[in-house]
Amino acid sequence: MAPPLIDGGPPSAEPVPETIAAIDIGTNSVHMVVARVVGNGRFEIITREKEMVRLGQGPGDMKELSDDAIDRGVAALGRCRTIAESFGAELHAVATSAVREAENRDVFLRRAWVEAQVAVDVVSGFEEARLIHLGVLQALPVFDSVILLCDIGGGSTELLYGRGQEVLAARSLKLGAIRLTQRFLDADDYGTTDPDRDPVEECRNFIRDQITPFLRDTRTLRADTMVGSSGTIETLVSMTRSRGGESPRSFNAETITRADVTACVDAIVAAGSLDAVRKLAGVDPSRADILLAGALILDEVMSLFGAEELIFSDAALREGVLLDAVQRHAGAGHHQLSDLRRQSVLHLMEMCEEDPDHAFQVAWIAGRLLETMSDMLSLGAEAAELLDAAAMLANVGLFVSHSRHHQHSYYVIRNSEQLSGFSDREIELIAQVARYHRKSAPSDRHEAFRALPKRDRELVRALAAILRVAIGLDRSHAEVVGTVATEIDDTTVTIVIGPREPDDDLALEQYSATQRRSLLEEVSGRTVSIVIDDRPT
């Protein structure tokens, strides 16, 4: 029986399965994600699996897969299939550079099908770049931007210019962390006894030579944002954050500069040996031997394309395969991701919120208050989106329990995997603002709040103060407040509310907001009063 193919034929009319698993068979590792399909082109990750198999390791510039490498790869696929079956997941597997280039790839594909019962689709370099791009659009709010995407694998590097779901230009280059390490670098000693040879500079020259044709072909394109994915870039982000004493739970949406990347290269070279590199803060020991080559690739890409900053995406090929599979089943166009972050907030709210209309009303009121108070409270541009998310999610803790639901809201937001496109810091801030929408005010007595930098503590206090009043202004959950305005001077803040309909009674909202004003008075240094304008809208 021949293995089924994943082809580019017409969309299927078959129903979308409840769970789908995607396997990325890379040169360095085998990664799998299993996800539950939740509709509208969205899915929720159930579990992840990763094994370092070094499929492309060996002599011959990856022209042939070694017997040992095939054994490791097939065994890993068998374990992945067992996990996928335990969730009842439809399985999709794609192989990239190492299998794509191997002259004996049919041996691997046949054994994968016969022994592991996994049908593997070998994707082209362009298709690999397209799927990575699709995955990135699910993790970062870059749909409306022109992006330059860089994904560094063990055997190849994918470069892509994209806007929305459109690929403007893409190239797969034979520049991989394993490939370049084997060709140029002694992983246990980056120095050399030959004074006329600098292996690091030789590697840099080769990278520049390989990138230059794509750089020339895309010289008329200009990216708004550079995005990076892959384990190499995640490790460089980890090293950079570790130097600053930071250890976020997720590196998604974290940024690094070219200067940060260069500093990482310098630190790896200065370490001088593989054992020393493994001990560097933030380094994944299993990646240490190929890290320098990957870091050199990123350093040169950023330099040649003039990118001073990069934002990291923890979603890549696997997530792209998932979404592609969902869309093939549904026979529909790709989900509109231009408002990625808000869509993910709405999704979490819909899962947990008992009264969505109340959440929308509170978010609208909070936004109106923020518009007029941002200067007074010295709030920057990010405040509006954080407050909007916190307002929408303030009551998701009711899904757990009505008692202490503000604390449960913090836990749900902080530990949810639904908030796509937000950095770890942003998720923490949203969770804390939601946590302090009622009961005790933000305090250094609370460990999570105390752990925030001073500027973020001030931001949480200011946004929580606004949110408390906004919630008071829909105390009846009847959305009777139709207008919100503020009058501010050096000593007072007057919030003027008006009814949505002429007969609407705002007395309860006025009373409740007045009871919740104390934190706003503290952060503003002014007396706050709530008054009713009885004129109808």
The confidence score (pLDDT) of residue 62 equals 74
Cβ burial, residue 64 (10 Å; 0-12/13-18/19+): middle
Cβ contacts of 457 within 8 Å, gap of 6 or more: 442, 449
Q: What does the pLDDT look like over 108-148, one tens digit per residue?
A: 999 999 999 999 988 888 889 989 999 999 899 999 999 99
CA distance 53 to 461: 48
* Highest-pLDDT range among 25-39, 323-337, 455-469: 455-469
| Type of residue at 516 | R
Q: Which two tokens stand for residue 161?
A: 């210019």
CA distance 333 to 327: 7
Largest CA distance in the chain: 89
H helices, E strands: number in the chain: 20, 14
| Structural domains of the chain, ranges and CATH numbers in brackets | 19-124+318-330 (3.30.420.40), 141-312 (3.30.420.150), 340-532 (1.10.3210.10)
Cβ contacts of 417 within 8 Å, gap of 6 or more: 44, 45
Q: What does the pLDDT look like over 224-269, one tens digit per residue?
A: 999 999 999 999 999 999 998 888 888 999 999 999 999 999 999 9
CA distance 56 to 70: 9
The confidence score (pLDDT) of residue 40 equals 67
- Please state whether beta strands 146-152 and 157-163 pair in parallel, antiparallel, or not at all (unpaired): antiparallel
DSSP states of 493-504 as a string?
Answer: EEEEEEESSTT-
Q: Minimal CA–CA distance to 146: which of 173, 172, 171, 169?
A: 169
CA distance 66 to 58: 7
Q: Minimal CA–CA distance to 312: which of 424, 476, 435?
A: 424
Beta strands in 267-327 (DSSP E): 309-312
- Please state whether beta strands 157-163 and 166-173 pair in parallel, antiparallel, or not at all (unpaired): antiparallel
The confidence score (pLDDT) of residue 187 equals 57
CA distance 467 to 363: 8
- What is residue 312's three-state secondary structure? strand
Helix axes 105-115, 67-86, angle to 10 degrees: 40
- Please state whether beta strands 527-532 and 492-499 pair in parallel, antiparallel, or not at all (unpaired): parallel
Give a three-class secondary structure readout of 206-271: HHHHHHHHHHHHCCCCCCCEEEEECHHHHHHHHHHHHHCCCCCCCCCCCEEEHHHHHHHHHHHHHH
Is 493 a residue whose pLDDT tops 50? yes
Q: Minimal CA–CA distance to 468: which of 437, 433, 444?
A: 437
Q: Which two tokens stand for residue 338?
A: 């231009």
Q: Among 75-84, 212-221, 410-419, where is mean pLDDT lowest? A: 410-419
DSSP states of 125-146 as a string?
Answer: HHHHHHHHHHHHHHHSS-TTSE
Which residue has tokens 């459109």? 166
Sheet of strand 255-257: strand arrangement = 166-173, 157-163, 146-152, 225-229, 309-312, 255-257
% pLDDT > 90, the chain: 68
DSSP states of 365-416 as a string?
Answer: HHHHHHHHHTTTTT--TTHHHHHHHHHHHTTGGGGT-STTHHHHHHHHHHH-
Compute the Cα dihedral for 366, 369, 370, 373 and give only its sign: negative
- Global model pTM greater than 0.95: no
CA distance 410 to 160: 37
Q: Among 41-50, 143-152, 417-426, where is mean pLDDT lowest? A: 417-426
CA distance 356 to 62: 55
> What average pLDDT does the chain have?
89
Average pLDDT over residues 218-222: 96
The confidence score (pLDDT) of residue 195 equals 65
